[in-house]
Structure formats: structure tokens, C-alpha cells
């Protein structure tokens, strides 16, 4: 979990730094992100699940963490996130299975383990 917390801290630090520097490119990125993830024909939950699969294919750990957490916030179930990871594995082939290992670590932090009777 320390690794995941470190990724979150670095992402939040960089976000604040770029905002404080008034980066026009970063602001344009944030505007594009807002437009891309707003509800439309697809709702934000579905769009976040798509981003999870893409994150696995491109092996972006920070992206996987961010989009799994956002998918959960938008109501995605653990099963839905797992299927998005699995689509990423299929699209990325063998190398994506390595990325999927990280996604599974993030999922353990986002979704509590099932309680056994």
C-alpha cells in the first residue's frame, strides 16, 4: 500500500505544481479530461472502465490506480473493474498480464476482501 500511496502523493503534488505554474497545456489537458469523462452516450462509470483497460495495455501504473479508483467512485463493481482489466490483457497480450498484476494490487486497496462466513 505504501507504493500506491506514493503514487497518489506524487500525482497530487504534480497536479498542484502544474496548476500553480499556470501551465496552459496542463489546463487544456484538464479541460479535455473533463469533456472526455462527462456523461454522454456513455456514462462516467463506463468511460472509467474503458480507461482501466487502456491503462493496462499502455502499462501506466498511475493511470491504472487513478482510473480504478474513479471507476469505483462512479459505482463500478470489483467484477466490472476485473473485466476491464481482462479486456486490457486480451488487447495487450502477454505483456499486459504484467500490467494486470499492478491493477490487482490497486483493486485490493479499493475493494475490501469478501467476508467469509
pLDDT tens across 98-110, in order?
Answer: 889 889 989 998 9
Burial status of residue 62 (CB atoms within 10 A of its CB: 0-12, 13-18, 19 or more): middle
Taking 50 as the pLDDT cut, the residues of the chain under it are: none
Residue 56, domain member (yes or no)? yes
C-alpha cell at 23: 501551465
CA dihedral 17, 20, 24, 30 (to 10 degrees): 60
Instruction: Count how many domains the chain has.
Output: 1
> At 98, which CATH number?
1.20.1290.10
pTM for this model (two decimals): 0.83
Residue 93, domain member (yes or no)? yes
Task: Determine the structural domain holding residue 90 and report its residue range.
Answer: 2-110
Which residues lie below 8 Å from residue 109, measured CB to CB, with a gap of 6+? 1, 4
Residue 17, domain member (yes or no)? yes
Place of cell 472509467: 48
Contact of 25 with 54, CB cutoff 8 Å: no
Residue 54, domain member (yes or no)? yes
Residue 115, domain member (yes or no)? no
Amino acid at each position: 500500500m505504501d507504493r500506491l500511496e506514493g503514487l497518489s502523493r506524487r500525482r497530487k503534488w504534480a497536479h498542484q505544481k502544474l496548476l500553480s505554474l499556470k501551465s496552459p497545456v496542463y489546463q487544456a489537458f484538464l479541460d479535455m479530461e473533463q469533456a472526455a469523462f462527462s456523461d454522454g452516450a456513455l456514462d462516467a462509470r463506463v468511460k472509467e472502465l474503458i480507461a482501466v483497460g487502456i491503462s493496462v495495455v499502455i502499462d501506466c501504473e498511475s493511470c491504472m490506480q487513478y482510473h480504478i479508483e474513479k471507476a469505483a467512485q462512479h459505482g463500478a463493481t470489483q467484477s466490472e473493474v476485473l473485466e476491464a482489466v481482462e479486456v486490457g490483457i486480451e488487447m495487450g497480450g502477454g505483456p499486459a498480464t504484467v500490467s494486470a498484476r499492478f491493477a490487482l494490487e490497486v483493486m485490493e486497496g479499493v475493494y475490501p476482501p469478501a467476508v467469509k462466513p
